[in-house]
Amino acid sequence: MRRMFPQFAMMFAMVAACAAAVAPAASAFAEAPDSAKSEEPADRAAERLNEEGKKLVVSGKYEEALEKFRAALKLFPLSNAIFNVGSMLYTLKQYEESFPYLDYTLRAPLDPRQREIVLQYRENVITQLKGTHAVIQVESSPPGAQVALNNKQLPFETPMKVLVPFGAADITVSLPGFKATTKVVTSSRADPPKDVRVRLERDDPDAAVTVFCPPGADVFIDGQMVGVEQVRTRLLVGTHMVRCGKTVKNKAFEREIQVRPAPQANAFEFSTVKQ
Protein backbone atom coordinates (compact mmCIF):
# COMPACT_ATOMS: atom_id res chain seq x y z
CA MET A 1 0.00 0.00 0.00
CA ARG A 2 1.46 3.31 -0.96
CA ARG A 3 1.73 5.64 2.02
CA MET A 4 0.40 9.20 1.78
CA PHE A 5 0.53 12.14 4.14
CA PRO A 6 -2.74 14.12 4.24
CA GLN A 7 -2.87 17.33 6.25
CA PHE A 8 -1.58 17.03 9.81
CA ALA A 9 -4.50 19.06 11.24
CA MET A 10 -5.29 17.98 14.81
CA MET A 11 -2.57 15.33 14.63
CA PHE A 12 -1.24 16.18 18.08
CA ALA A 13 -4.57 16.85 19.78
CA MET A 14 -4.07 13.71 21.83
CA VAL A 15 -0.51 14.50 22.97
CA ALA A 16 -1.61 16.26 26.15
CA ALA A 17 -3.49 13.15 27.25
CA CYS A 18 -0.31 11.12 26.85
CA ALA A 19 2.10 13.70 28.24
CA ALA A 20 2.91 11.64 31.33
CA ALA A 21 3.96 8.73 29.15
CA VAL A 22 6.28 10.93 27.12
CA ALA A 23 7.86 12.93 29.94
CA PRO A 24 11.62 12.35 29.98
CA ALA A 25 12.39 9.28 31.70
CA ALA A 26 2.98 -4.67 13.35
CA SER A 27 2.34 -5.52 11.99
CA ALA A 28 -1.06 -6.27 10.36
CA PHE A 29 -3.66 -3.60 11.00
CA ALA A 30 -6.83 -4.64 12.79
CA GLU A 31 -10.03 -5.09 10.82
CA ALA A 32 -12.27 -2.02 10.70
CA PRO A 33 -15.07 -2.29 13.31
CA ASP A 34 -18.78 -2.22 12.53
CA SER A 35 -18.85 1.53 13.20
CA ALA A 36 -17.10 2.09 9.85
CA LYS A 37 -19.95 2.93 7.50
CA SER A 38 -19.62 1.16 4.18
CA GLU A 39 -21.09 4.10 2.26
CA GLU A 40 -18.38 6.48 3.50
CA PRO A 41 -15.34 7.18 1.36
CA ALA A 42 -12.34 5.39 2.85
CA ASP A 43 -10.49 8.57 3.80
CA ARG A 44 -13.50 10.07 5.59
CA ALA A 45 -14.22 6.84 7.44
CA ALA A 46 -10.58 6.71 8.50
CA GLU A 47 -10.74 10.30 9.76
CA ARG A 48 -13.91 9.51 11.73
CA LEU A 49 -12.33 6.46 13.35
CA ASN A 50 -9.24 8.46 14.16
CA GLU A 51 -11.36 11.13 15.90
CA GLU A 52 -13.22 8.42 17.82
CA GLY A 53 -9.86 7.09 18.94
CA LYS A 54 -8.80 10.53 20.22
CA LYS A 55 -11.93 10.73 22.38
CA LEU A 56 -11.11 7.32 23.86
CA VAL A 57 -7.61 8.57 24.68
CA VAL A 58 -9.07 11.47 26.66
CA SER A 59 -11.16 8.90 28.57
CA GLY A 60 -8.04 6.86 29.32
CA LYS A 61 -9.24 3.91 27.22
CA TYR A 62 -5.91 3.42 25.49
CA GLU A 63 -6.37 -0.13 24.18
CA GLU A 64 -9.73 0.75 22.63
CA ALA A 65 -8.20 3.89 21.16
CA LEU A 66 -5.38 1.84 19.66
CA GLU A 67 -7.89 -0.40 17.88
CA LYS A 68 -9.66 2.67 16.46
CA PHE A 69 -6.39 4.09 15.14
CA ARG A 70 -5.41 0.73 13.61
CA ALA A 71 -8.84 0.43 12.03
CA ALA A 72 -8.39 3.91 10.54
CA LEU A 73 -5.10 2.81 8.97
CA LYS A 74 -6.77 -0.31 7.61
CA LEU A 75 -9.03 1.95 5.59
CA PHE A 76 -6.67 4.77 4.65
CA PRO A 77 -3.07 5.66 5.60
CA LEU A 78 -3.70 8.89 7.51
CA SER A 79 -0.42 10.27 8.76
CA ASN A 80 -1.94 11.40 12.06
CA ALA A 81 -3.32 7.89 12.64
CA ILE A 82 0.16 6.48 11.99
CA PHE A 83 1.50 8.70 14.76
CA ASN A 84 -1.43 7.89 17.03
CA VAL A 85 -0.84 4.15 16.70
CA GLY A 86 2.80 4.67 17.63
CA SER A 87 2.05 6.91 20.60
CA MET A 88 -0.62 4.53 21.93
CA LEU A 89 1.73 1.56 21.68
CA TYR A 90 4.29 3.64 23.56
CA THR A 91 1.75 4.56 26.23
CA LEU A 92 0.91 0.86 26.62
CA LYS A 93 4.66 0.18 26.96
CA GLN A 94 4.78 -1.84 23.75
CA TYR A 95 7.95 -0.01 22.83
CA GLU A 96 9.29 -2.36 20.16
CA GLU A 97 6.02 -2.27 18.22
CA SER A 98 5.69 1.50 18.55
CA PHE A 99 9.06 2.27 16.94
CA PRO A 100 8.23 1.79 13.21
CA TYR A 101 5.13 3.99 13.46
CA LEU A 102 6.97 6.80 15.22
CA ASP A 103 9.92 6.60 12.87
CA TYR A 104 7.70 6.54 9.79
CA THR A 105 5.83 9.64 10.99
CA LEU A 106 9.09 11.58 10.64
CA ARG A 107 8.81 11.22 6.84
CA ALA A 108 5.81 13.55 6.85
CA PRO A 109 6.05 17.36 6.36
CA LEU A 110 6.06 18.26 10.07
CA ASP A 111 6.51 21.72 11.47
CA PRO A 112 9.41 22.11 13.96
CA ARG A 113 7.21 21.60 17.06
CA GLN A 114 5.55 18.49 15.63
CA ARG A 115 8.90 17.02 14.67
CA GLU A 116 10.22 17.70 18.16
CA ILE A 117 7.31 15.80 19.72
CA VAL A 118 7.67 12.79 17.43
CA LEU A 119 11.43 12.72 17.94
CA GLN A 120 10.91 12.76 21.70
CA TYR A 121 8.65 9.72 21.52
CA ARG A 122 11.10 7.96 19.21
CA GLU A 123 14.14 8.74 21.35
CA ASN A 124 12.30 7.62 24.49
CA VAL A 125 11.65 4.25 22.84
CA ILE A 126 15.35 3.89 22.02
CA THR A 127 16.23 4.87 25.60
CA GLN A 128 13.83 2.30 27.03
CA LEU A 129 15.37 -0.47 24.90
CA LYS A 130 19.00 0.64 24.67
CA GLY A 131 20.17 -2.29 26.78
CA THR A 132 18.53 -4.88 24.52
CA HIS A 133 18.12 -3.35 21.04
CA ALA A 134 19.80 -1.16 18.44
CA VAL A 135 18.53 0.71 15.37
CA ILE A 136 19.70 -0.21 11.87
CA GLN A 137 18.75 0.90 8.37
CA VAL A 138 17.27 -1.75 6.06
CA GLU A 139 17.34 -1.01 2.32
CA SER A 140 16.49 -3.07 -0.73
CA SER A 141 17.01 -2.85 -4.45
CA PRO A 142 14.38 -2.38 -5.73
CA PRO A 143 12.87 -0.43 -2.80
CA GLY A 144 9.34 -0.87 -1.48
CA ALA A 145 9.88 -4.37 -0.07
CA GLN A 146 8.22 -5.83 3.00
CA VAL A 147 10.44 -6.48 6.02
CA ALA A 148 9.95 -9.21 8.63
CA LEU A 149 11.96 -9.30 11.85
CA ASN A 150 12.20 -12.80 13.33
CA ASN A 151 9.21 -13.83 11.17
CA LYS A 152 7.07 -10.89 12.33
CA GLN A 153 6.14 -8.56 9.49
CA LEU A 154 6.78 -4.87 10.08
CA PRO A 155 4.11 -2.35 8.96
CA PHE A 156 6.06 -0.33 6.38
CA GLU A 157 8.36 -0.88 3.41
CA THR A 158 12.02 -0.36 2.58
CA PRO A 159 13.93 1.81 3.05
CA MET A 160 13.15 1.82 6.77
CA LYS A 161 14.78 1.82 10.18
CA VAL A 162 14.42 -1.35 12.23
CA LEU A 163 14.84 -1.85 15.95
CA VAL A 164 16.87 -5.06 16.18
CA PRO A 165 17.28 -7.11 19.39
CA PHE A 166 20.81 -8.04 20.39
CA GLY A 167 21.79 -11.64 19.70
CA ALA A 168 20.89 -13.34 16.43
CA ALA A 169 18.01 -11.76 14.52
CA ASP A 170 16.56 -12.81 11.16
CA ILE A 171 15.64 -10.00 8.78
CA THR A 172 13.64 -11.16 5.76
CA VAL A 173 13.08 -8.82 2.82
CA SER A 174 10.43 -9.76 0.25
CA LEU A 175 8.75 -8.24 -2.79
CA PRO A 176 6.30 -9.84 -5.25
CA GLY A 177 8.15 -11.19 -8.29
CA PHE A 178 11.43 -11.49 -6.39
CA LYS A 179 13.02 -14.17 -4.22
CA ALA A 180 12.69 -13.45 -0.50
CA THR A 181 16.10 -12.90 1.12
CA THR A 182 16.91 -13.48 4.79
CA LYS A 183 19.92 -11.94 6.51
CA VAL A 184 21.04 -13.05 9.97
CA VAL A 185 22.17 -10.07 12.02
CA THR A 186 24.31 -10.99 15.03
CA SER A 187 25.11 -8.24 17.49
CA SER A 188 25.58 -7.24 21.11
CA ARG A 189 25.69 -4.02 23.06
CA ALA A 190 29.47 -4.05 22.69
CA ASP A 191 29.27 -4.95 19.00
CA PRO A 192 26.25 -3.09 17.52
CA PRO A 193 24.55 -4.45 14.39
CA LYS A 194 25.36 -3.10 10.93
CA ASP A 195 22.89 -1.76 8.38
CA VAL A 196 21.36 -4.29 5.97
CA ARG A 197 21.30 -3.72 2.22
CA VAL A 198 19.72 -6.39 0.01
CA ARG A 199 19.71 -6.71 -3.78
CA LEU A 200 16.67 -8.84 -4.56
CA GLU A 201 16.81 -11.41 -7.36
CA ARG A 202 13.88 -12.01 -9.66
CA ASP A 203 11.83 -15.04 -8.77
CA ASP A 204 10.90 -15.67 -12.40
CA PRO A 205 13.44 -17.70 -14.41
CA ASP A 206 15.29 -15.99 -17.22
CA ALA A 207 17.35 -17.23 -20.16
CA ALA A 208 20.04 -16.08 -22.56
CA VAL A 209 18.58 -14.62 -25.78
CA THR A 210 20.10 -13.57 -29.10
CA VAL A 211 18.17 -11.38 -31.55
CA PHE A 212 19.26 -10.68 -35.14
CA CYS A 213 17.73 -7.74 -37.05
CA PRO A 214 18.58 -6.51 -40.59
CA PRO A 215 21.92 -4.70 -41.01
CA GLY A 216 21.79 -1.20 -39.54
CA ALA A 217 18.47 -1.73 -37.75
CA ASP A 218 18.00 -0.60 -34.15
CA VAL A 219 16.81 -3.45 -31.93
CA PHE A 220 14.01 -2.85 -29.42
CA ILE A 221 12.76 -5.41 -26.91
CA ASP A 222 9.53 -4.69 -25.06
CA GLY A 223 9.73 -1.05 -26.13
CA GLN A 224 13.32 -0.48 -24.97
CA MET A 225 16.20 0.04 -27.39
CA VAL A 226 18.87 -2.55 -26.54
CA GLY A 227 21.32 -2.39 -29.47
CA VAL A 228 21.86 -2.45 -33.22
CA GLU A 229 21.59 -5.42 -35.63
CA GLN A 230 22.54 -8.15 -33.15
CA VAL A 231 21.80 -8.23 -29.42
CA ARG A 232 22.66 -10.76 -26.74
CA THR A 233 20.80 -10.33 -23.46
CA ARG A 234 18.81 -12.15 -20.78
CA LEU A 235 15.01 -12.07 -20.70
CA LEU A 236 12.40 -13.57 -18.42
CA VAL A 237 10.91 -16.79 -19.73
CA GLY A 238 7.71 -16.01 -21.59
CA THR A 239 6.42 -13.72 -24.35
CA HIS A 240 8.28 -10.59 -25.49
CA MET A 241 8.02 -8.17 -28.40
CA VAL A 242 11.00 -7.48 -30.69
CA ARG A 243 11.05 -4.46 -33.00
CA CYS A 244 13.61 -4.05 -35.75
CA GLY A 245 13.93 -0.39 -36.65
CA LYS A 246 13.76 1.26 -40.05
CA THR A 247 16.79 1.09 -42.33
CA VAL A 248 17.60 2.36 -45.82
CA LYS A 249 16.38 -0.95 -47.28
CA ASN A 250 13.64 -1.96 -44.83
CA LYS A 251 10.65 -0.58 -42.99
CA ALA A 252 10.43 -1.13 -39.27
CA PHE A 253 8.62 -4.28 -38.16
CA GLU A 254 7.72 -6.15 -34.99
CA ARG A 255 7.79 -9.84 -34.10
CA GLU A 256 6.58 -11.63 -31.00
CA ILE A 257 9.06 -14.06 -29.50
CA GLN A 258 8.64 -16.83 -26.95
CA VAL A 259 11.61 -17.19 -24.61
CA ARG A 260 12.06 -20.75 -23.36
CA PRO A 261 13.93 -21.86 -20.24
CA ALA A 262 17.55 -22.99 -20.53
CA PRO A 263 19.12 -25.12 -21.87
CA GLN A 264 16.84 -24.61 -24.89
CA ALA A 265 18.23 -22.24 -27.52
CA ASN A 266 16.73 -18.76 -27.78
CA ALA A 267 18.11 -17.34 -31.03
CA PHE A 268 15.69 -15.26 -33.07
CA GLU A 269 16.73 -14.59 -36.67
CA PHE A 270 15.09 -11.59 -38.37
CA SER A 271 18.10 -10.32 -40.34
CA THR A 272 16.73 -11.47 -43.69
CA VAL A 273 13.17 -10.20 -43.21
CA LYS A 274 12.12 -7.86 -46.00
CA GLN A 275 9.45 -5.19 -45.46
What the chain holds in terms of domains, given with CATH numbers, is 1-129 (1.25.40.10), 130-203 (2.60.40.3070), 206-269 (no CATH)
pLDDT, tens only, 48-100: 999 999 999 999 999 999 999 999 999 998 889 999 999 999 999 999 999 99
> Mean of the pLDDT values across residues 92-114?
95
80 class by beta-carbon count within 10 Å (0-12 exposed, 13-18 middle, 19+ buried): buried
Looking at the predicted structure, is the pLDDT value of residue 26 above 80? no
Is 90 exceeded by the pLDDT of residue 144? yes
N residues, the chain: 275
pLDDT above 50: residue 8:
no
* pTM, full prediction: 0.66
Give pLDDT tens digits for 30-49: 344 454 455 889 999 999 99
Q: What is residue 263's predicted lDDT score, i.e. its pLDDT? A: 84
